[in-house]
Homo-oligomer: A and B are copies of this chain.
Amino acid sequence: MTYDIAILGASGYTGAELVRLIATHPQMRIAALSADRKAGLAVAEVFPHLRHLNLPKLVKIDEIDFTGLDLVFCALPHATSQSVISRLPADVKVVDLSADFRLRDPDAYAKWYGKPHAAPELQQEAVYGLTEFYRDRIRGARLVAGTGCNAATGQFVLRPLISAGVIDLDEIVIDLKAGASGAGRSLKEHLLFSELFENVRGYSLGGTHRHLGEFDQEFSDLAGRPVEVQFTPHLIPATRGILVTAYVRGDAETIHRTLAEAYAAEVFVEVLPFGAVPAMKDVRGSNFVHLGVVGDRKPGRATVIAVLDNLTKGSSGQAVQNANLMLGCDETAGLMGAPLYP
């Protein structure tokens, strides 16, 4: 069976990544593509690398006939999604890639995003899209909220450790290194080639990054008590990829065993042998996550390193994985491409 899908916001990087993944998906067909400012253009004019595909033209959202569509990927900017999605037909499944439905608590949303949510009833309904941990609820959901790419990476490290109670909940530091594509195709000075090349810069330091809203929500839920991590993201001179270095307290071998057991049955999560750590490029362009654990000379401390591709597993790949579950396809359909290396 083939499912007709639409991608709203197809002229951004996550939109293009959705097209890339769906292009070889055995059961999805791209029926409509929207891009407000580029409406009227062919996809190849915006993304020449997709020239070989036979795709519909880019249109404005209100030109799309949603009747008969099975699922909509919503890759619109934050804050735009909530109003667009609330106007979609109630029987269309939606995978949202924005930040709009990640936080369940209206107050938390208002705190981290600076204004009240425009569709609080949808906010309640939305299922958090970290597939490996919300699989059953995603299967039956109408609206799935894609996670933040940074937030996803940190959770792959910490969720099993918090659940198993093997680390100190008050002593968690997440030092994160991320490529530029996570910031999208927007024209900002610090994203210029000349600025970022041969450069590294920390940003949103000291507990101000919005993905902390997700960490707080998810970790506190898991722990049954408030958990606040320290989190410092850094922009590095790479396009794709996130590497998290997490500093935790607990027995390193127990931590490793906990992760290895938690992910033993997961297709997309690989836990390396104890003492080995992954490099960022090991998963580039793929839906895989690699995790490694090392002990420290200071007893009772461990370092966990996790890597994923922010545009794939951190965003569009995760979205396809969730859509697969929602549509009843094989969860891995379209997602088994190996990383591009070198």
A234 contact set on B, CB distance < 8 A:
177, 243, 245
A23 within 8 A of B: yes
Check if A329 is an interface residue, CB within 8 A of chain B: no
Stretch at the interface among A48-56, A64-72, A146-154: A48-56
Q: Which of A123-131, A156-164, A201-209 contacts B (4 or more CB under 8 A)?
A: A201-209
Find chain B residues with CB under 8 A from A294 CB: 205-206
Asked whether A198 and B296 contact (CB < 8 A) given A247-B247, A288-B52, the answer is no
Decide if A39 is an interface residue (CB 8 Å cutoff).
Answer: no
- A336 adjacent to chain B (CB < 8 Å): yes
B residues in contact with A187, CB < 8 Å: 187-189, 192
Which of B205, B270, B283 contacts A303 (CB under 8 A)? B205
Residue of B13, B281, B297 near A228 (CB, 8 A) is B297
CB within 8 Å of B: which A175-216 residues: 175, 177, 179-181, 185, 187-189, 191-202, 205-208, 212
Among B198, B275, B278, contact of A48 (Cβ-Cβ < 8 Å): B278
Copies of chain A in the complex: 4
Q: Check if A340 is an interface residue, CB within 8 A of chain B.
A: yes
Q: How far is the CA of A49 from the CA of B173 in the complex (A)?
A: 27
How many Å lie between the Cα of A153 and that of B193 in the bound state?
22
Contact B338–A279 (Cβ < 8 Å): no
CB-CB contacts below 8 Å: A261-291 with B: 267-268, 270, 272, 275, 277-286, 288, 290
- Indicate if A29 sits at the interface (CB-CB under 8 A): no
- Place the interface of chain A in its size category: 35 or more
- In the bound assembly, the distance between CA atoms of A110 and B272 in angstroms comes to 31
Are A181 and B194 also in contact (CB < 8 A) when A199-B238, A280-B199, A298-B230 are? yes
Residue A239 at the chain B interface, CB threshold 8 Å: yes
Instruction: Give Cα distance in the complex from A189 to B193, angstroms.
Output: 10
Contact B193 A280 (CB under 8 A): no
Question: What 1/0 mask marks residues of chain A from 63 to 83 whose CB sits below 8 Å from any chain B CB?
Answer: 000000000000000000000
Query: What residues of B have a CB within 8 angstroms of the CB of A200 in the complex?
Result: 177, 236, 238, 241, 243, 279-281
Cα–Cα distance between A283 and B284 once the two chains are bound (Å): 16
A19 within 8 A of B: yes
A-side residues, CB < 8 A to B, are 13, 16, 19-20, 23-24, 47-53, 173, 175, 177, 179-181, 185, 187-189, 191-202, 205-208, 212, 228, 230, 232, 234, 236-241, 243, 245, 247, 267-268, 270, 272, 275, 277-286, 288, 290, 294-298, 301, 303, 305, 336-342
13 contacts between A and B (CB under 8 A): A48-B282, A53-B338, A175-B247, A181-B342, A192-B193, A193-B193, A198-B241, A198-B284, A199-B238, A205-B303, A207-B296, A207-B297, A234-B243
Given contacts A193-B197, A195-B342, A207-B297, 19 further A-B contacts (CB under 8 A): A20-B341, A48-B272, A49-B281, A50-B339, A51-B288, A53-B338, A175-B232, A177-B200, A180-B193, A199-B279, A200-B241, A202-B305, A205-B303, A205-B305, A207-B296, A228-B298, A232-B247, A237-B238, A340-B340
